[in-house]
């Protein structure tokens, strides 16, 4: 029980920290501007 709860809490903490340091903005930027190389064209 403790193992799972700890993992879940750690996971949430990591996500929040990642968002705080700007990672989510990077994901968004990449997801809405198609870089052709990334999808294998050209």
Residues 1-40 as x/- pattern, contact with other proteins by CB under 8 A: x-xxx-xx-xxxxxxxxxx-xxxxxxxxxxxxxxxxxxxx
- Using CB under 8 A, count the residues that bind other proteins: 38
- For 35, list phi and psi in degrees, rounded to 5: -95, 115
CA-wise closest residue to 19 among 9, 27, 8:
27
Q: How many angstroms separate the CA atoms of 28 and 42, rounded?
A: 23
**Binding interface with other proteins (CB under 8 A):** 1, 3-5, 7-8, 10-19, 21-42
């Amino acid at each position: 029980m403790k193992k799972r709860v700890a993992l879940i809490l750690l996971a949430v903490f990591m996500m929040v920290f990642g968002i705080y340091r700007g990672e989510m903005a990077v994901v968004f930027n990449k997801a809405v501007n198609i870089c052709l190389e990334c999808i294998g064209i050209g």
